[in-house]
């Protein structure tokens, strides 16, 4: 495969290889058959892409037993594969965080995080205007976060909702300063309202493939 493979997170993927990477990014490890159904193509077409992507070190696979019968080959993104989804201005951001910490200490970092949260809160609250129900507010949040590169989605789970971010475009910054993750959790709680409970269930920085939050209305 040539070096022309674009960043899938930059927009809707059109190339078959991009679509495979996007499917694995948003759905997690999958078999060829499942990927083929998701892409509405043949399994053989997916296998051809997997051969190329594996040769480029972007995907790998493992065999998993499924009861009786032959084990199923499950494909997943490698670290290089995840790297195809951009971490926005990663190196420059980490350098700036390091510089702020050196000059102003942890207090300066806290002020930086608070200023970012305040700015984002204002923008998110404007996006929530006229959104009456929790579902409507979550749909608005999905739109805003997706536009920022988080590849967000939401699903209903019984009486609760699960808010999912399949990508973190500030991952390097979050690793350098965990305050960003704490701040975003508080941001979601403020935006969704006082009568709403938001708890993080999956966390990319803890080794999960995505960040996921359980959202429920308090009795």
Cα(3)–Cα(26) distance, rounded to whole angstroms? 23
40-76 pLDDT per residue, tens: 999 999 999 999 999 999 999 988 866 666 788 999 9
Q: What are phi and psi of 215, to 5 degrees?
A: -120, 125
Domain that holds residue 73: 8-82
Q: CA torsion, points 92, 94, 98, 101, in degrees to nearest 10?
A: 110
Distance of CA 208 to the CA centre of its chain: 10
- Position with higher pLDDT, 1 vs 167: 167
Among 21, 54, 82, the domain boundary falls at: 82
103-150 pLDDT per residue, tens: 989 899 999 889 989 999 999 999 999 999 999 999 999 999 999 989
Q: How many domains does the chain have?
A: 2
pLDDT score of 8: 46
Under a CB-based contact definition with an 8 Å cutoff, are residues 202 and 172 in contact?
A: no
Q: What are phi and psi of 187, to 5 degrees?
A: -60, -45
Assigned domain for 2 exists: no
pLDDT score of 145: 95
Query: Based on the domain organization, do 104 and 211 belong to the same domain?
Result: yes
Q: What are phi and psi of 86, to 5 degrees?
A: -65, 140
- Exposure pattern of 109-126 as b/e (b: 16+ CB <10 Å)? beebbeebbeebeeebee
């Amino acid at each position: 495969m040539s070096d022309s493979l674009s960043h899938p997170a930059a927009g809707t993927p059109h190339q078959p290889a991009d679509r495979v990477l996007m499917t694995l990014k948003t759905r997690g490890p999958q078999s060829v058959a499942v990927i083929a159904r998701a892409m509405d193509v043949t399994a053989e077409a997916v296998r051809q892409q997997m051969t190329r992507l594996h040769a480029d070190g972007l995907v790998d696979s493992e065999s998993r037993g499924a009861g009786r019968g032959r084990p199923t080959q499950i494909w997943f993104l490698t670290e290089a594969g995840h790297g195809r989804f951009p971490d926005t201005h990663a190196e420059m951001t980490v350098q700036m965080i390091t510089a702020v910490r050196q000059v102003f200490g942890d207090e300066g970092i806290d002020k930086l995080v608070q200023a970012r949260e305040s700015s984002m809160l204002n923008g998110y609250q404007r996006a929530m205007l006229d959104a009456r129900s929790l579902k409507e507010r979550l749909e608005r949040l999905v739109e805003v976060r997706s536009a920022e590169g988080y590849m967000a989605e939401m699903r209903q789970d019984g009486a609760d909702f699960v808010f999912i971010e399949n990508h973190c475009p500030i991952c390097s910054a979050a690793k350098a300063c965990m305050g960003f993750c704490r701040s975003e959790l508080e941001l979601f709680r403020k935006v969704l309202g006082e009568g709403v409970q938001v708890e993080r269930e999956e966390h990319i920085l803890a080794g999960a493939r995505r960040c996921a939050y359980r959202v429920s209305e308090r009795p």
